[in-house]
Structure 1
Amino acid sequence: MTPPSTASPPGTWAPGLCWRCETDDVPVIWLGPAHSEHHGHAPFVACERCVTRLEELIAAYAVGRSRTS
């Protein structure tokens, strides 16, 4: 298991482990910090496929919120 790259600046793709699908040694990008009640925080990184899916989920959530506002 390759740990996520912490040396890459935000907005830069670097080889690592996708924290969403757990595919190893793929280009990943930092999305922000992940927080754990017991372990503190860690960099949350994801591969392109997972970033695309997260964007779809966020868009669907935003549409749903705009309907209820």
Structure 2
Amino acid sequence: MDRGEILGLYEWAIGVCFRCATANTATTHLGEIDPPAGDHYDIRACEKCLVELEEERRRYAERTGREYTPGQLGRCEL
């Protein structure tokens, strides 16, 4: 799968990337953090960081003999 196909598996909106801190860029929602203090943090990744995270997932799956399916970042795996 190429970069464009992987990016197409996610929904995008303007936000701040949790990984590189780039603001006002296209990001995808990966999760949320709701600490006891009551604050709410939306975890989002930009296109560049998402592709890097997907590549890390692919390499991990390869090393551990697991199946890799792109487009699963931020989805709960039970």
TM-score range, shorter-chain basis? 0.5 to 0.7
SS at match of 2:31: strand
Q: Flag the 1:41–1:66 CA change in 2: closer, same or farther, 3 A.
A: farther
TM-superposed CA distance for 1:16, in Å, is: 1.1
The residue that corresponds to 1:55 in the other structure is 54
SS at match of 2:32: strand
- Which amino acid counterpart does residue 58 of structure 2 have in structure 1? A
CA distance in 2, matches of 1:59, 1:23: 24
Q: TM-score, normalised by structure 2?
A: 0.58
The residue that corresponds to 2:63 in the other structure is 64
Q: TM-score, normalised by structure 1?
A: 0.65
CA distance in 2, matches of 1:34, 1:62: 26
**Backbone CA RMSD of aligned residues:** 2.5
Residues 25-51 of structure 1 deviation map (CA, whole Å, 9 limit, x = unaligned): 101110123476988763210001110
Higher relative contact order (CA 8 A, sep 6+): 2
The residue that corresponds to 1:32 in the other structure is 31
Identity, % of aligned positions: 35
How many pairs are equivalent? 57
CA distance in 1, matches of 2:61, 2:37: 30
Q: Larger % of strand: which?
A: 1
Q: Map of 1:2-41 to 2, 5 A cutoff?
A: 11-34=10-33
- Listed as ranges, the gaps of 5+ residues in structure 2 are 1-9, 67-78
